[in-house]
A and B are shown apart, each in its own frame.
Chain A
Amino acid sequence: MEIDEITTAVRQGLIPAYLYNDAEVHELERSRLFGRSWNFLAHESEIAEPNDYVVRNIGDDSFLVTRDSDGQVHVMFNMCVHRGMQVCRAERGSARTFRCPYHAWTYKNDGQLAGLPFHADAYGGDAGFIKEGQALLDAPSVAVRNGMIFASLDPDSPDFEYWLGDFAFYLDFYTGQSAAGMEFRGPQRWRVEANWKIGAENFMGDSYHTPHTHASVVDIELFGEPRPYKRKEGVLWHAGPGGGTTYKLPAGSEFRSGLAYVGYPDEMIDAMEAKLSPAQRALAAEPGFMPSASTLFPNLSFVHNWPQTDADGRITPFISVRLWQPVGPGETEVYSWFCVAADAPDDYKAASYKAYLMCFGSSGMFEQDDVENWVSITTMARGSMARNLLLNNRMGLTLDGDPIVDQFERFGGPGTAYQGFGEHNQRHWFSMWADFVSQPAPAHEPLAFGMGEQPE
Chain B
Amino acid sequence: MQSGDPLPYTDARHQSAAQFLTEEAHLLDTSDFEGWLELMAPEIRYRMPVRVTAVKAADEAEVQTMHHFDEDWYSLQKRVQRFGTDYAWTEDPQSRIRHHVSNVRTFAGDGDELRVESAVLLYRSRGDRTAPSLLSAGRTDVLVPTTDGLRLRSRDIEIDESVLRTQNLAIFL
Asked if residues A379 and B82 are in contact (CB atoms below 8 Å), the reply is no
| Chain A contacts for B79, CB-based, 8 A | 358, 365
Q: How far is the CA of A300 from the CA of B163 in the complex (A)?
A: 19
Interface string of B75-95 (1 = CB under 8 A from A): 100110110011111100000
Q: Which of B54, B63, B164 contacts A90 (CB 8 A)?
A: B54
Interface residues on B, range: 35 or more
- Judge if B10 is at the interface, Cβ distance under 8 Å: no
B167 within 8 A of A: yes
Assess the B54–A361 pair: CB atoms within 8 A: no
Asked if B7 lies at the interface with its beta carbon under 8 angstroms from chain A, I say no
State A192–B165 Cα separation when bound (angstroms): 7
Residues 309-337 of A contacting B (Cβ, < 8 Å): 309-311, 333
Q: How far is the CB of A143 from chain B (nearest CB, A)?
A: 25
Decide if A353 touches B70 in the complex (CB within 8 Å): yes
Given contacts A89-B53, A220-B81, A375-B167, contact A311 B58 (CB under 8 A): no
**How would you classify the secondary structure of chain A's contact residues: helix, strand, loop or mixed?**
mixed
Say whether B65 faces chain A, with CB atoms less than 8 Å apart. yes
A371 to B81, CA, bound (A): 20
| Chain A 347-383 per-residue mask, 1 if CB under 8 angstroms from chain B, else 0 | 0000001100110011111011101110100010000
Stretch of A66-74, A106-114, A181-189, A195-203 with 4 or more beta carbons under 8 angstroms from chain B: A181-189
Per-position 1/0 for B42-77, Cβ under 8 A of A: 000000001011110010100101111111101100
Q: Within B158-173, which residues are at the interface with A (CB < 8 Å)?
A: 162-170
B54 touches A91 (CB 8 A): yes
A190 CB-CB contact with B under 8 Å: yes
Report A321 CB to chain B, min CB distance, Å.
13
> Is A363's CB under 8 angstroms from B168's CB?
yes
Closest-by-CB residue of A relative to B166 is A190
Query: Of B50, B70, B86, B167, which contacts A354 at CB under 8 A?
Result: B70
B130 within 8 A of A: yes
In the assembled complex, which residues on chain B have CB atoms less than 8 Å from the CB atom of A191? 163-165
Complex contacts, B169 vs chain A, CB 8 Å? 362-363, 368
Q: List 19 A-B contacts (CB under 8 A).
A: A90-B52, A92-B60, A93-B55, A188-B66, A190-B164, A190-B167, A192-B168, A215-B85, A222-B78, A358-B78, A363-B168, A364-B168, A365-B78, A369-B89, A371-B168, A372-B90, A372-B167, A375-B130, A375-B167
- B positions within 8 Å CB-CB of A: 50, 52-55, 58, 60, 63, 65-72, 74-75, 78-79, 81-82, 85-90, 129-130, 162-170
Return the 4 tightest CB-CB contacts between A and B, nearest first.
Answer: A190-B164, A363-B169, A215-B87, A216-B87
Q: Known pairs A187-B66, A191-B165. 9 more at Cβ < 8 A? A: A90-B54, A90-B55, A91-B52, A93-B60, A188-B164, A193-B130, A215-B86, A217-B82, A311-B74
